[in-house]
């Protein structure tokens, strides 16, 4: 069997329909010229976790999938065909090509027609939702293709003498990406009744000012706000407010790495540095030696660190094992809690609107936010701590 895989990876998004009471079947028929023997699968994520649906049948270049969904989901069609990625170094890292997205809901019948060499340009037909998304994609396509070609071009410019040309290409990528963002914002404003607008908002958070983002969300159909995707966007809004300077930190109780309950408010009277991380996150792990230095320097001066880990596994025991191993391997002696515990009812990553790992939030002695840093922190973290603690 050919070892290459073609996967349809679901993004962490749901289409904005009302949840169905029972699981419903969807059907996806693809006709991808040049697909050959490459295997296919469908992966999507919902509030219940990550799911993979495998190929139902095949006839030449035609592949048929059928799966069950409780409510609509958004999937991303990702191919491991050689043309689906650009190799940055022989046998090493690569850049994935632009993705093809589809919308799956109860009784959806989707048809995809395209070429394996440029899968992201495939045409998707089906219900009204997919037709709307496809129309938006076709409008974006010239810009998406341009960005892809520019990225491949810039990737080959590694010599010092290429720096000027590379900067020019990066500037052009930025300008073209801004045009894409403008098209998507216009779609959101013009289509308040389309669930594609919720889908776009979930991805454009960093491209709106906070007030404009909330205004755009409030203008959408109320039905969409009750879906998982709608709640996700709402959490981005509430999370931004929760981590604004001067906001009172959201309290929570989670099980710590010793099996004991820990409540954030129990640390009132101390400065608290919340560190959102995960065992899978390279930059997070790389920041831990510096955090150990910070803890040693400030723990006797009123600072406590609380690590809030988010593990990718949906299986709690697997997540717990990876989390505890990382704590031990990295030699972290401060308070540690696992967000995966009781995540359905107490999701602190969602509540605090965490969109990148690591993220660090410093609280004053009254539990109010002093600052928020996305990334390792480094010198900026040191300066912020020194200023906050008056040292």
User: Could you give the domains of the chain?
Assistant: 5-181 (no CATH), 253-388 (3.40.30.10)
pLDDT of residue 318: 95
Q: What is the pLDDT of residues 41-60, one digit of tens each?
A: 777 877 777 777 777 888 88
Residue 303 contacts residue 391 (beta carbons within 8 Å): no
pLDDT of residue 379: 79
pLDDT of residue 270: 95
Q: How far apart are CA 67 and CA 46, in angstroms?
A: 14
More confident residue, 270 or 15: 270
pLDDT of residue 107: 83
* Least-confidence region, from 6-10, 24-28, 224-228: 6-10
What pTM was estimated for this model as a whole?
0.73
pLDDT of residue 205: 82
CA distances from 388 to 41, 66, 115, 369, 385 (A): 51, 56, 57, 11, 5
- CA-based max dimension of the chain: 71
Percent of all residues in the chain with a pLDDT value above 70, rounded to a whole number: 92
pLDDT of residue 212: 94
Q: What is the pLDDT of residues 177-190, one digit of tens each?
A: 999 999 999 999 99
User: Mean pLDDT over all residues of the chain?
Assistant: 86
Q: Quick one: pLDDT band at residue 391, thresholds 50, 70, 90?
A: low
Q: What is the pLDDT of residues 146-155, one digit of tens each?
A: 999 999 988 8
Q: For residue 26, is pLDDT > 80?
A: yes
CA distances from 41 to 8, 19, 30 (A): 6, 24, 12
Tokens of 308: 């809030």
Q: Quick one: pLDDT band at residue 2, thresholds 50, 70, 90?
A: very low
Q: What is the pLDDT of residues 235-256, one digit of tens each?
A: 889 888 888 999 999 999 999 9
Tokens 């989707």, located at residue: 110
Tokens of 218: 């409030």
């Amino acid at each position: 069997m050919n070892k290459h895989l073609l996967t349809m990876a679901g993004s962490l998004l749901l289409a904005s329909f009302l949840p169905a009471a029972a699981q419903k079947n969807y059907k996806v028929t693809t006709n991808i010229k040049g697909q050959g023997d490459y295997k296919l699968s469908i992966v999507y994520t919902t509030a219940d976790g990550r799911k993979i649906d495998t190929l139902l049948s095949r006839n030449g270049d035609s592949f048929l999938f059928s799966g069950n969904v409780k409510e609509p989901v958004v999937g991303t069609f990702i191919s491991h065909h050689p043309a689906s990625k650009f190799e940055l170094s022989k046998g090493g890292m690569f850049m994935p090509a632009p993705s093809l997205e589809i919308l799956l809901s109860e009784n959806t019948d989707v048809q995809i027609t395209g070429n394996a060499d440029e899968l992201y340009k495939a045409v998707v037909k089906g219900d009204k939702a997919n037709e709307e998304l496809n129309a938006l994609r076709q409008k974006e396509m010239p810009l998406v293709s341009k960005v892809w070609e520019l990225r491949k071009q810039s990737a080959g410019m590694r010599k010092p003498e290429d720096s000027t040309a590379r900067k020019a290409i990066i500037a052009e990528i930025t300008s073209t990406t801004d045009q894409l963002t403008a098209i998507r914002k216009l779609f959101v404003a013009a289509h308040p009744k389309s669930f594609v607008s919720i889908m776009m908002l979930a991805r454009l958070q960093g491209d709106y000012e906070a007030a404009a983002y909330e205004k755009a969300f409030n203008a959408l159909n109320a039905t969409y706000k009750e879906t998982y995707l709608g709640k996700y966007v709402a959490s981005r809004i509430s999370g931004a407010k929760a981590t604004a300077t001067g906001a009172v930190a959201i309290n929570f109780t989670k099980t710590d790495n010793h099996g004991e309950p820990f409540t954030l408010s129990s640390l009132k009277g101390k400065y608290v540095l919340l560190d959102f991380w995960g065992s899978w996150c390279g930059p997070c792990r790389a920041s831990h030696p510096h955090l150990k230095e910070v803890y040693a320097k400030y723990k006797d001066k009123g600072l406590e660190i609380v690590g809030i880990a988010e593990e990718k596994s949906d299986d709690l025991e697997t997540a717990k094992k990876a989390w505890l191993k990382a704590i031990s391997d990295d030699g972290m002696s401060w308070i540690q809690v696992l967000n995966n515990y009781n995540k359905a009812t107490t999701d602190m990553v969602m509540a605090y609107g965490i969109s990148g790992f690591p993220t660090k939030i410093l609280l004053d002695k009254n539990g109010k936010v002093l600052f928020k840093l996305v990334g390792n922190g480094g010198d900026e973290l040191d300066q912020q701590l020194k200023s906050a603690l008056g040292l």
